[in-house]
Amino acid sequence: MEKTLVSPECLVYDNHPETLTGTPFHYCPGCGHGVVHKVLMEVIGELGIQEETIGVAPVGCSVFAYHYMNVDMQEAAHGRASAVATGIKRVRPDKYVFSYQGDGDLAAIGTAETIHTVNRGENILVVFVNNAIYGMTGGQMAPTTLIGMKTSTSPYGRESATMGSPLKITELIANLPGAYYVARHAVHSPKYVRMLKKALTKAFEYQKLNRGTCFIEVVSNCPSGWKLTPVQTVGFIEENMLPYFPLGEIKVPDEKTGISTLVKNN
Amino acid sequence: MVYGAAGAGTRAMTSSSSPGFSLMQEGMSYIAAAELPCLVVNVTRGGPGLGTIQPSQGDYFQAVKGGGHGDYKLIVLAPASVQEMVDSVFDGFRLAEKYRNPALILADGALGQMMEKVELPAEGSLPHETPSWATTGKSKDREQNVVTSLFIQPEKMEGINTHLQAKYTAMQSEVRYEETMVEDAEILVVAFGLSARICMKVVDLAREKGIKLGLLRPITLFPFPVARLFELSDRIKKMIVVEMNAGQMVEDVRLSTNGKSVVEFYGRMGGMIPTPEEILHKIETDLI
């Protein structure tokens, strides 16, 4: 007789929401992408909007997002996800549209698209996964790479004199009038995952109101690119990433007036 | 944005002029690979670089040979009048949707600013239905729809390429061209767009002088009238291609005639427009 070692409800890998296809993630062990995927799709499932949601996948490690997210999706060129999402939302204004992008995609090659999409106040959700590195292409320096951080293209560590400072694009776009709800969250501990989930839920609910762009940054990790074990990346996030990329809401709408304002201390 | 809108199943188009269209080449390659029907208009100006804002046909290669990366083709229409500009929009969408391929109207700065009387097609003459592959929201009764150009396995990617090439071959049945006084012609001018319009006058001037000149004007630049030119080159041994560039379509005419005819070239570049007289002078000097 077959011996059951683990009770079925505890099988994390077999306990996915219907909004995920069930295809096993290709991500490296410990990578935050899988968690962000799952939380995002859980929210879509719980809100009951799977049939009305269209997503846009980026270029980078999450290029195959549509293999996992069980909604209609389009694969954009590098950096153009928010422009593609704009095109979709403009012709399907009754649908929920999100783009899922990394820091190389959103804050380097796609900077123009990102800024103008938010500036136009496109009524979409941008999920911005920031792991401070180009993970897929071999760990090169990204716009969000921290000062002193060693990457394959900054082998002696990033220094601001020649490489500029890590780009806080989330704070930058929060200042644009088109930004309706802007927040930064993380996925390296259950507490933060729950906070992210609440923020994503809010963002989809706000999309119904048609008042502007919702933009959620997720501070994530890259064990392979950072050359750290998954556990070590948790410490790195706490000690290095969060002081520079502080978590919390950056711009929030007033529930009654609908007017969005920057949160103090940000 | 055109990629997103077309992928969501609506009719989408954009327009630009040479440098702007160069910027769009990334998108054109993705749109062609993802097989999204759409329409783009390039009102060509003189280049290279920032160039000039005067009319040119210098973007022929970019239009008919791909333009972006990878093996792909656009359906390219070359109108020669404002009426044809209007008709090309409808024709362009019709062909784009039939073949799930981007279509391009290759005009120039003169055509783009010309005013002529036009007759608009009847309202509703080009009905549109949302295609089944479009990302409109995954309903319960179907699998998810994905619009992508990423096929990481080379076997799959080659299959996609084979499919695209078969589609381009099938497009040969859509070749459009117009012939003027070709029946008895001893010399053939081949020109498209504005150049062809100028060459109509050249045919008149030549005929007045007793020169048996005819004109073939390709209306589709891709697909190109390869078969017709090959056929005509059996009989007409002297051809001249007139373009507002350094000689681009002339290469396709030479490939089509495969050495059976002498194919001369006359062109002006950088936004200059040739006069009928200078074209006729070239014909009289080099082909008679």
Residue B238: which CATH number? Answer: 3.40.50.920
Read off the tokens for B246: 């350094």
- B115 and B181 assigned to the same domain: no
What's the distance, Cα to Cα, between the start and end of chain B in Å? Answer: 53
* Chain A positions with Cβ closer than 8 Å to B: 21, 50-54, 56-57, 63-64, 66, 70-77, 80, 83-92, 95
- A87, B138: Cβ pair inside 8 Å? no
Return the H-helix or E-strand segment holding B250. helix B249-257
Q: Which residues of chain A are within 8 Å of residue B137 when distances are taken between CB atoms?
A: 51-54, 71-72, 92, 95
* B256 found inside a domain: yes
- A86, B1: Cβ pair inside 8 Å? yes
Interface size, chain A vs chain B, as Cβ–Cβ contacts under 8 Å: 99
In this complex, the residue of B5, B139, B150 whose CB is nearest that of residue A91 is B5
- B84-88 long-range contacts, CB within 8 A, separation 24+: B84/B219, B85/B111, B85/B118, B86/B118, B86/B119, B86/B120, B86/B121, B87/B121
- Contact call for residues B54 and B272 (beta carbons, < 8 A): yes
* B7 found inside a domain: yes
* B216 found inside a domain: yes
Taking only the tens place, the pLDDT of each residue in A87-142 is: 999 999 999 999 999 999 999 999 999 999 999 999 999 999 999 999 999 999 99
- A95, B136: Cβ pair inside 8 Å? yes
Q: Which residues of chain B are within 8 Å of residue A54 when distances are taken between CB atoms?
A: 8, 135-137
- A50, B138: Cβ pair inside 8 Å? yes
Predicted local confidence at residue A14, as pLDDT: 65
- B34, A72: Cβ pair inside 8 Å? no
Q: Which residues of chain B are within 8 Å of residue A45 when distances are taken between CB atoms?
A: none
Crossing angle of helices A190-207 and A33-47, rounded to 10°: 50
Predicted local confidence at residue A248, as pLDDT: 98
Q: Has residue A15 got a pLDDT over 90?
A: no
- The pLDDT > 70 percentage for chain A reads 95
Q: Is B241 on the interface with A (CB under 8 A)?
A: no
Q: What confidence category does residue A5 fall into, taking pLDDT thresholds of 50, 70 and 90?
A: low
Residue of chain B minimizing CA distance to A113: B1
Residue of chain B minimizing CA distance to A85: B4
Residue of chain A minimizing CA distance to B3: A84
Region A209-238: mean pLDDT is: 97
Region B256-269: mean pLDDT is: 98
- B77 and B113 assigned to the same domain: yes
- A95, B26: Cβ pair inside 8 Å? no
Predicted local confidence at residue A122, as pLDDT: 98
- B7, A21: Cβ pair inside 8 Å? no
Read off the tokens for A44: 């879509």
In this complex, the residue of A57, A70, A85 whose CB is nearest that of residue B4 is A85
* B138 found inside a domain: no
Q: Is B27 on the interface with A (CB under 8 A)?
A: yes
Region B96-123: mean pLDDT is: 97
Q: Which residues of chain A are within 8 Å of residue B6 when distances are taken between CB atoms?
A: 87
* B165 found inside a domain: yes
* B99 found inside a domain: yes
**Residues B209-240 as b or e (16 or more Cβ within 10 Å = b):** eebebbbbbbbbbbbbbbebbeebbeebebbb
- B22 and B150 assigned to the same domain: yes
Average pLDDT, chain B: 97
Q: Look at the block and give the residue holding tokens 């804002």.
A: B53
Q: What is the CATH number of the domain that holds B44?
A: 3.40.50.970
Taking only the tens place, the pLDDT of each residue in B217-259 is: 999 999 999 999 999 999 999 999 999 999 999 999 999 999 9
- A87, B140: Cβ pair inside 8 Å? no
CA distance B73 to A133: 36
- B201 and B114 assigned to the same domain: no
Torsion sign across C-alpha atoms A233, A235, A238, A240: negative
* B139 found inside a domain: no
Predicted local confidence at residue A53, as pLDDT: 98
Read off the tokens for A53: 């949601």
- Out of 3.40.50.1110, 3.30.450.40, 3.40.50.970, 1.10.540.10, the CATH code matching A3-262 is 3.40.50.970
Taking only the tens place, the pLDDT of each residue in B22-78 is: 999 999 999 999 999 999 999 999 999 999 999 999 999 999 999 999 999 999 999
Q: What confidence category does residue A7 fall into, taking pLDDT thresholds of 50, 70 and 90?
A: confident
Q: How many residues does chain A have?
A: 266
Instruction: Give the number of domains in chain B.
Output: 2
Q: What confidence category does residue A13 fall into, taking pLDDT thresholds of 50, 70 and 90?
A: low
Q: Which residues of chain A are within 8 Å of residue B8 when distances are taken between CB atoms?
A: 54, 74, 87-88, 91-92
Predicted local confidence at residue A12, as pLDDT: 65
Pairing of strands B13-16, A260-262: unpaired
Q: Is B150 on the interface with A (CB under 8 A)?
A: yes
Residue of chain A minimizing CA distance to B144: A72
Q: Is B19 on the interface with A (CB under 8 A)?
A: no
- The pLDDT > 70 percentage for chain B reads 100
Predicted local confidence at residue A264, as pLDDT: 84
Q: Has residue B146 got a pLDDT over 80?
A: yes
Q: Has residue A266 got a pLDDT over 60?
A: no
| CA distance to B226, B254, B276, B282, per residue, from B262 (Å) | 16, 8, 21, 14
Predicted local confidence at residue A255, as pLDDT: 84
Residue B221's domain comprises: 177-286
Q: Which residues of chain B are within 8 Å of residue A74 when distances are taken between CB atoms?
A: 3-4, 7-8, 135, 146-148
- B106 and B210 assigned to the same domain: no
CA distance B269 to B252: 19
- B138, A51: Cβ pair inside 8 Å? yes
- B135, A90: Cβ pair inside 8 Å? no
Q: Which residues of chain A are within 8 Å of residue B7 when distances are taken between CB atoms?
A: 74, 84, 87-88
Selected residue with higher pLDDT from A266 and B118: B118
Predicted local confidence at residue A76, as pLDDT: 98
- The pLDDT > 90 percentage for chain A reads 91
The CA distance from B38 to the nearest CA of chain A, in Å, is 13
CA angle centred on B268, ends B265 and B272, rounded to 5°? 160
CA distance B269 to B55: 9
Residue of chain B minimizing CA distance to A59: B150
- B50 and B164 assigned to the same domain: yes
Crossing angle of helices B276-286 and B193-208, rounded to 10°: 60
CA distance A108 to B168: 36
**Residues A65-80 as b or e (16 or more Cβ within 10 Å = b):** bbbbbbbbbbbbbbbb
- B20 and B156 assigned to the same domain: yes
- Listing DSSP states for chain A in one string gives -----S-GGG-GGG---TTB--PPP-SPTT-SHHHHHHHHHHHHHHHT-GGGEEEEE-SSGGGGHHHHB-SEEEEPPTT-HHHHHHHHHHH-TTSEEEEEEEHHIIIIITHHHHHHHHHTT-S-EEEEEE-SEETTTTSEE-TTPPTT--BTTBTT---HHHH-PPP-HHHHHHTSTTEEEEEEEE-SSHHHHHHHHHHHHHHHHHHTTT-SEEEEEEE---HHHHT--HHHHHHHIIIIIHHHS--EEEEEE-TTT--EEEPTT-
- A87, B4: Cβ pair inside 8 Å? yes
The CA distance from A81 to the nearest CA of chain B, in Å, is 9
Crossing angle of helices B154-170 and B25-33, rounded to 10°: 90
Predicted local confidence at residue A125, as pLDDT: 98
